[in-house]
Structure 1
């Protein structure tokens, strides 16, 4: 069994990093915000954005096994379910191919899932090429994430799980990284609410971003893989639960998530609350947010 899993991992890694010459572009368009490509490489289909003259994968799935999650960072996002195992209202900022939304709907069919995406072309492509699923429980809206959250606050809405995934590999919009934005987002969380944010793991921005999250949420967990790819910041509305408290939720989640190739025990072992940034790192604010200059 271990040999089969190992071979699948090797084959998947080869598919992800194979040369672009082997990829077939099946859709390409220029939206208001970016160049969008959909590429097939054998069994693998990927949504890509052209950023800084290179193409970055936003969402991928295996055509023969669409339930199996491809990206490691997507699997780490499920750290949020260790804190809240059965969220009834979920907000996702940044759609990509809709992989996270589709998976959550299968896991939590009674949950309300709202997807926020600024680019209508991304929603169209997700529907057409990645089987992004919508119904009375799963919705999508074309709106800037910051504007949506401000409006949701005025409506006194609350969410059990907020997923921030407006990260394209090079860039997170500056106005979605500031202290003021995170304060607004925190107010949207229910009392047992959890936030998971797909963020940078290596750049000068790391310290600034970490300090900003700490200024709003206090202690938080970082969820990282040894590959030094993306990191997930996991924060809560109220006091951060200890790892000992969270261990009680692992058994129920293990069997639930395995069909999606999510090893929740491995995800849990990636948790760290160690502060690895300077105490005096500057905080990003609406008046001071040089995110793009720092991310070099």
Structure 2
């Protein structure tokens, strides 16, 4: 009988927002939030192949390149271990990349244990993503590629799920921008989230993989391109993503605009929040 492999804890900290743990098994190093409640890994990195993206959802976050293959400005809400912004920085070294992370302790862990560091073009801001976006909109700033990947340890922060928040996100988008939102395919909020995105953006792409419990919402201010264009784009871009483990040519057939949610569900607002919904039974 093979003995179970036990992860070694190499760092533990309690910030004002959460418990943070870094573990390692062999070459695999992982960041966890609120581990005492059984929450899952936020980021994992293979120390012998740091380019390789370990999780499906991380790789899925690059699906927006099918719609916006040449982003010059990128906004990532939620740092984790920094895999997403660091991959963007390698793919697009001249792009401006802003990373917003509310928890300074997470930034410190990403720097110390996951090789994240600011560069001339990439900067981590310790801030709440929503007011950062609101201020950017007031200043007239826009981004070509926006990733919503904030996670509290329990769920996506509820103030980043509402109609009002999505309307603020739209103020930093142009007709060429793409929004990529990481959420979950089995959440009790699935119908409510879907209705909220639909009412804010109209038709959007839903992206799921059978190997992942995550789903990615892809939204734009423009009419969504047809699948044929996405297939062609995937063939052009895929070679540059292979080293990261991203099989982009497999993605277009997984994108759908089919409504698979209850459209009668109430949209999420600042007054009608996910926290309220989760307490309703």
Change (3 A) 1:51 1:289: farther
Q: TM-score, normalised by structure 2?
A: 0.95
SS at match of 1:55: coil
The answer to which of 223-232 and 177-186 deviates more is 223-232
Residue from 214, 222, 226 that aligns with 2:206: 222
Q: TM-score, normalised by structure 1?
A: 0.90
Matched, 1:93 2:82: no
CA distance in 2, matches of 1:280, 1:186: 24
Tell me, in whole angstroms, the C-alpha distance in 1 between the residues paired with 2:255 and 2:233.
14
Where 1:131 maps in the other structure, the secondary structure is coil
Show the counterpart of 2:122.
138
Classify the secondary structure of the residue corresponding to 1:189.
Answer: coil
Give the superposed CA RMSD: 1.7
2:67 corresponds in structure 1 to: 83
- Count how many residue pairs are aligned between Structure 1 and Structure 2: 278
Partner of 1:70: 54
Measured in 1, the distance between the counterparts of 2:166 and 2:103 equals: 22
Provide the rounded CA distance (Å) in 1 between the counterparts of 2:260 and 2:183. 15
Task: Summarize the Cα distance change of 1:89–1:261 in structure 2 as closer, same or farther, 3 Å threshold.
Answer: same
Shift of 1:209: 0.3
Match in the other structure for 1:37: 21
Q: 1:24 to 1:220 in 2, by over 3 A?
A: same
Check if 1:148 corresponds to 2:124. Answer: no
Q: Is the 8 A contact 2:99 2:123 kept in 1?
A: yes
> Residue 192 of structure 1 corresponds to which residue in structure 2?
176
Q: How much has 1:214 moved relative to structure 2? A: 0.2
Contact 2:66–2:233 (CA<8 Å) still a contact in 1?
yes
Deviations for 1:5-63, whole angstroms, at most 9, x for unmatched residues?
xxxxxxxxxxxxx96x6100000000010000000011100000016711320110100
Indicate how the Cα distance of structure 1 residues 227 and 59 shifts in structure 2: closer, same or farther if over 3 A, else same: same
Structure 2: distance between partners of 1:288 and 1:204? 15
Which digits, 9 at most, give the CA deviation of each residue in 1:86-125, with x for residues without a partner?
Answer: 1000000000000001111000001000000000000000
Q: Is residue 25–residue 40 contact of structure 1 (8 Å, CA) maintained in 2?
A: yes
Q: Which runs of 4+ in 1 moved over 6 A?
A: none
Distance 1:292 1:117 in 2: 25
Partner of 1:233: 217
Partner of 1:147, secondary structure, is: helix
Tell me if 1:181 matches 2:194. no
Q: Is the 8 A contact 1:51 1:170 kept in 2?
A: no
The farther-off stretch of 120-129 and 240-249 is: 240-249
- 1:107 maps to 91
The gaps in structure 1 that reach 5 residues or longer are 1-17
CA distance in 2, matches of 1:167, 1:274: 26
Q: Is the 8 A contact 1:95 1:115 kept in 2?
A: yes
* 8 A contact 2:10–2:24 mirrored in 1: yes
Q: Which has the higher helix share?
A: 1
Give yes or no for the alignment of 1:166 onto 2:150.
Answer: yes
Deviations 1:119-178 (A, max 9, x none): 000000000000013111000101101110111011100000000001356301110000
Matched residue, 1:27: 11
